[in-house]
Structure 1
């Protein structure tokens, strides 16, 4: 990975952590789900009007020609596009990395519903009309703004597909336009799934120009490099005028790696400590919590459960107070499912509900430090693995449910990247809080 890309990840991760970032997703993200790309969608219609080659053509303009030939009847064209996009496609690895990223707002020009599908375990608020754009979004929901409509829900007139649709967009969609203006000013966009000359990028640039060029925040576009292509280089340079910096990659696999790194980095230096609800006292967790509170920038995610988690949170908070640190900036609280029903700790039938409740907490967690626990703790660790967290086991009791997780392939892989001997030391009962702190430093450096 080049120094430029590493620096970009560093810079953009800060925007994600601060809540000032939004992803802007294009059709390229859906291609790995076997969806037809835009040229293949309109190719049969283009041939009917005598256009056999689409390379280098302005595709919304071609769509306009098709509608013109249909005497402005959009119905058959939109219906045919809809049939192709309504097939049972599944989200891909790019979508999964996006879902695991700690962000609140996603813009897209895609018509398909793969983004919504990918967020199947998270509540989303999908907006594709002017009427919906002003709707308030609860803190625990992800906002997905489908700028060009949704082929699954929109009326035909809401689909932005032809040249005239693009030209009239800012007139016909004033509320979405105003929201776009605000986000261009207040958020740092990351454009993914767009390539050289994409008409959608031109559309965004038009709005950036209306704002006055350099008045927007720094935005980024990741796209595949066209080596030794002067037109491409000039296009990239021109985007800088509108605050869009192009990050060039050699292969699309590089994009997935970047998104996965941003997913974890978006959570900042956040740590969640879990363990048995029956724990009354634990010297290790107290020592560890004190050290973490002293360490600059560490945020403790508090799931507000009793037992070991309460010991960790109380010790962390007390240490912050003693050192005159701002508690509000270092502690982040999440709903406690156990307060609603104490059976979550030992009722196997409730584990699916517990896991669902814990998603917001673990999606915001970079590192989980897991102490011995029962089925509830084990369930939380399993959710953390699903959501990309790095788990640091601090197990000492072979009789507890959590011990068997030491053989979990995913858990071992994530820890071994930073210390290949760590799991072996845990199994030999030779681990202490200093080993955990050293591992944390490597993970969040």
Structure 2
């Protein structure tokens, strides 16, 4: 990654950690799911009315021409468009990286339902009408605002697709407009999936300026560098709207950026997991005390008994002894085991346990795993699915967790920081100081 991209990740991660960020997602994010692009949707209709080349043209205007000339009204045109969405499409790696990010507000101009699919196991509130936008959202829910409607669920009049729809947007959707204005003032937006001369982004940023004037926060747009004088001037012009362009060489460069943001959005957070039947652990206690002395380290407490409780108590005691602000160093997550004790040993409940633990691991950067049974192994697996860096500190080859040393994701993420750690752990020569060193290396 370039120094400019690394600087952006650091800056924007701070907004994500503070809860003052929102993603704004365009059609480019769905391209890898083989969904038709704007151009592909409009092109066959444009040909029928005598427009052979629509590349680089305003697609909302092209859609307006098609309706005016071919259909007379929007209904039949949308029926034709919706038929192109009837195939079964699947979320792609970009969607998954977004879904693992510690973020609560996502805006999109996309008509598809791929975001809903990728967030299927996360509590979400989907909004695409003026009536729904005012609905209160609990803290644990992710809000997805489909400002241009949904091709599967919206009434035809709620779909924004033509030039006249854009012209009437302020009048027809005043509540969505007001919400957008508030978010532009209070959150830092990251625009992704939009390209140079994209009519959607042009309309949005124009309205952003109209809505918030010069009081907008710093926003960002990631797009491929066209390496032309006109593109340079376009990027410079976006500064007027409070938008800084982050240039990448090719579309594929976006994925590692999103994955890095996903991980860094969680802050310097740790979660310590292990057996519920552990009643004493000098290493867990000593480790937690050390972690509490590392500035800005956050302890995610899953409110479990056993080893995690030992670690949490030690971290809390050290914070109090040091007279630090406990509210800034602790995050608490519901304990599924208190709701259903069978989670500890009922294999059939593992899928449900994993689902309940998703919010915890979406907020965790580093997971330290001690020996444990079925529940600990399940927590490590969901942590890996959520993109966490899992550091094993196993000693019992007979425990269920020892099997995790074969997990490719776990090994790949560890080896980025210490190539010999897993090998030495298998040889049983990893010590407490080795564990502490790799944690400090990751968190620094």
TM-score, structure 1 as length reference: 0.98
Checking the alignment, whether the CA contact within 8 Å between 1:213 and 1:243 is kept in structure 2 is: no
Corresponding position of 1:235: 234
Checking the alignment, whether the CA contact within 8 Å between 1:368 and 1:390 is kept in structure 2 is: yes
Corresponding position of 2:192: 192
Checking the alignment, whether the CA contact within 8 Å between 1:86 and 1:112 is kept in structure 2 is: no
Q: Does 1:353 align with 2:348?
A: no
Q: Secondary structure at the match of 1:30?
A: helix
Q: Secondary structure at the match of 2:111?
A: coil
Corresponding position of 2:154: 154
Corresponding position of 1:106: 106
Corresponding position of 1:286: 285
C-alpha separation between the residues in 1 aligned to 2:117 and 2:91? 7
Corresponding position of 1:257: 256
CA shift at 1:72, angstroms?
3.2
Corresponding position of 1:183: 183
Structure 1 stretch displaced more, 417-426 or 341-350: 341-350
**Per-residue displacement from partner, 1:331-369 (whole Å, max 9, x unpaired)?**
110000111122211111111111111111011111000
**Per-residue displacement from partner, 1:218-273 (whole Å, max 9, x unpaired)?**
0000000001x222111110000110000010011110110011010111101000
Corresponding position of 1:323: 322
C-alpha separation between the residues in 2 aligned to 1:43 and 1:212? 35
Alignment of 1:64-83 (within 5 A): 64-70=64-70, 72-83=72-83
C-alpha separation between the residues in 1 aligned to 2:122 and 2:83? 27
Q: 1:71 to 1:284 in 2, by over 3 A?
A: closer
Q: 1:71 to 1:371 in 2, by over 3 A?
A: closer
Corresponding position of 1:439: 438
C-alpha separation between the residues in 2 aligned to 1:160 and 1:6? 36
Q: Secondary structure at the match of 1:290?
A: helix
C-alpha separation between the residues in 2 aligned to 1:73 and 1:168? 15
Q: Does 1:3 align with 2:3?
A: yes
**Per-residue displacement from partner, 1:39-63 (whole Å, max 9, x unpaired)?**
1101111111110110221111111
TM-score, structure 2 as length reference: 0.98
C-alpha separation between the residues in 2 aligned to 1:79 and 1:315? 61
Checking the alignment, whether the CA contact within 8 Å between 1:150 and 1:159 is kept in structure 2 is: yes
Structure 1: gaps (5+ residues)? none
Q: Does 1:221 align with 2:221?
A: yes
Alignment of 1:7-406 (within 5 A): 7-70=7-70, 72-211=72-211, 213-227=213-227, 229-406=228-405
CA shift at 1:71, angstroms?
5.7
Checking the alignment, whether the CA contact within 8 Å between 1:279 and 1:308 is kept in structure 2 is: yes
Checking the alignment, whether the CA contact within 8 Å between 2:9 and 2:261 is kept in structure 1 is: yes
CA shift at 1:185, angstroms?
0.3
Q: Secondary structure at the match of 2:95?
A: helix
C-alpha separation between the residues in 2 aligned to 1:208 and 1:112? 23
Checking the alignment, whether the CA contact within 8 Å between 1:181 and 1:207 is kept in structure 2 is: no
Structure 1 stretch displaced more, 60-69 or 266-275: 60-69
C-alpha separation between the residues in 2 aligned to 1:265 and 1:433? 25
CA shift at 1:207, angstroms?
2.1
C-alpha separation between the residues in 1 aligned to 2:120 and 2:130? 24
Q: Secondary structure at the match of 1:6?
A: helix
Q: 1:46 to 1:396 in 2, by over 3 A?
A: same
C-alpha separation between the residues in 2 aligned to 1:174 and 1:94? 31
Q: Secondary structure at the match of 2:430?
A: coil
C-alpha separation between the residues in 2 aligned to 1:219 and 1:176? 19
C-alpha separation between the residues in 2 aligned to 1:393 and 1:56? 52
Structure 2: gaps (5+ residues)? none
C-alpha separation between the residues in 2 aligned to 1:21 and 1:432? 40
Q: 1:437 to 1:70 in 2, by over 3 A?
A: same
**Per-residue displacement from partner, 1:79-109 (whole Å, max 9, x unpaired)?**
1111102321000010010001110000000
C-alpha separation between the residues in 2 aligned to 1:120 and 1:209? 34
**Per-residue displacement from partner, 1:410-434 (whole Å, max 9, x unpaired)?**
1111101100111122122222332
CA shift at 1:399, angstroms?
1.1
- What is the root-mean-square deviation of aligned Cα atoms in Å? 1.0
User: How many residues align structurally?
Assistant: 444
CA shift at 1:212, angstroms?
5.0
CA shift at 1:213, angstroms?
3.6
Q: Secondary structure at the match of 1:85?
A: coil
Deviating 4+ runs (over 4 angstroms): none
